[in-house]
Amino acid sequence: MEFGAGTPLEDFRREVREFVAAHAPRFKVRAGVRSPEDEGELKASLRWTAELYAAGYLGADWPERFGGTPEHDPLRDVVVREEIARARAPMPGSGSDLAAHALIGFGTEAQRQKHLPAIRDGEQLWCQLFSEPDAGSDLASLRTSAVRDGDDWVINGQKVWTTNGHWADLGYLLARTDPDAPKHKGISAFVLDMRAPGVQVRPLRELTGTSDFNEVFFDQVRVPTEAMIGKPGQGWAIANTSLAQERHGVGASVVSVEMAWEDLVKTARTLKIDGRPAIDLEDVRQQLAAFRAEVDAVAALAHASLMRWSAGKDRITDAPMAKLGFSELNLRLAEYAVSLLGERGVLTEGDDEAVDEGRWQDAYLYARAYTIAGGSSEVMRNIIAERGLGLPREPR
């Protein structure tokens, strides 16, 4: 199911598809949201990001004086991310996008002039410094502190699950500036130099064997007052406003799960079980058909959500339902693929006998992350039940 089929978006989609095919860098295909593996990939990713901005495929919703389009159509942003996902090309870093929208909505003119052109030109890579060991799904419980000291704020604390933290030039930081205020009210947002004294970044080695996330420690890090985004205590509102931009990525999630199903079918055609292609087995065909029905259902759900969102009629349950449907189905597709491989399901990248170069093992190990990142499945179900269906709150 293709979002925008039969509408004027079709011509735009063809245009974007041709651009991506001509310009996107080609990296090894890995599941999920991954960081560049070396400086070569980093430079190529930043160059690719700059090309997307220059072509008007990113940043179209920015102010016109910073490269935006006066009559911006938000549905085009969805198409762009779908086509990047379909080409298995690197997705531009979300940290830079989130920071840009925070600055556009709440930053000073000096902050916008300094950072927005640099983001567009691929000269700055940002990371998102939100989550903490005890503040993930309940982000408002964050403990990293910022204490005013003359013309500076002094930062102490820890962040974790920071994608691209080891590559980033700058961080979009949330810290608690008023410990006595209600937890949603005492948070402020800052621009943080990731190379400032007292900032320590430690890459986390993951199940996949790569280091895409990091933990970041702050020890008496001094940040000038002009680095605050917005006003003191405004951080929660700023974060929620910028995070709303992530709705553009719903279409890319749908495309990725559709492609996972297509890859699973290809594997079933080439994989031999008892001397026969796996797809010739009745139970395999039935499972593939059942997965296809679920893929179409998730796509229909997500696309209906996007249409309501573009019309300003979205519901509190739309984003949680789309996220829950995608992440859980993506996990089950990977689990089934690994089980279908039998004994070869334990072989990973680098093993000569690995099926599809270990693609399914990588997908399986990463898939669980999607059910946690951006709000765990349990939290999504609670939002749907409590806020959407009006069911009693879960006992705390």
User: Do residues 252 and 219 both lie within one domain?
Assistant: no
pLDDT confidence of residue 141: 87
Q: What is the reported pTM?
A: 0.88
Amino acid identity of residue 374, one-letter, is: G
Residue 367 lies in a domain: yes
CA distance 77 to 246: 10
User: Do residues 250 and 220 both lie within one domain?
Assistant: no
Token readout for 382 is 């609670």
CA distance 261 to 330: 9
Query: Looking at residue 273, which CATH number applies to its domain?
Result: 1.20.140.10
User: Do residues 151 and 196 both lie within one domain?
Assistant: yes
Chunked into runs of 10 residues, the chain (396 residues) has average pLDDT values of 62 94 85 83 93 94 90 88 91 89 96 96 94 82 95 96 93 95 93 97 87 93 97 94 72 88 94 92 96 94 85 86 92 95 74 72 89 86 92 84
Range of the domain at 255: 242-388
Query: Looking at residue 186, which CATH number applies to its domain?
Result: 2.40.110.10
Tally the domains of the chain: 3
User: How many CA atoms lie within 13 Å of 24's alpha carbon, on the beta-carbon side?
Assistant: 23
> Is the distance from CB of 256 to CB of 318 less than 8 angstroms?
no
User: Do residues 248 and 283 both lie within one domain?
Assistant: yes
User: Do residues 184 and 313 both lie within one domain?
Assistant: no
CA-wise closest residue to 250 among 207, 312, 299, 215? 299
Residue 351 lies in a domain: yes
Residue 111 lies in a domain: no
User: Do residues 157 and 287 both lie within one domain?
Assistant: no
User: Do residues 289 and 375 both lie within one domain?
Assistant: yes
The active-site residue, picked from 246, 294, 335, 349, is 246
Q: Which residue has the tokens 């199940």?
A: 207
User: Do residues 372 and 247 both lie within one domain?
Assistant: yes
Residue 158 lies in a domain: yes
Residue 103 lies in a domain: no
Residue 98 lies in a domain: no
Domain's final residue, options 199, 233, 267: 233
pLDDT confidence of residue 6: 54
Token readout for 357 is 């170069």
Q: Parallel, antiparallel, or unpaired: how do β-strands 152-159 and 214-224 relate?
A: antiparallel
Residue 2 lies in a domain: no
User: Do residues 170 and 260 both lie within one domain?
Assistant: no
Active site residue 394: no
Q: Parallel, antiparallel, or unpaired: how do β-strands 276-277 and 272-273 relate?
A: antiparallel
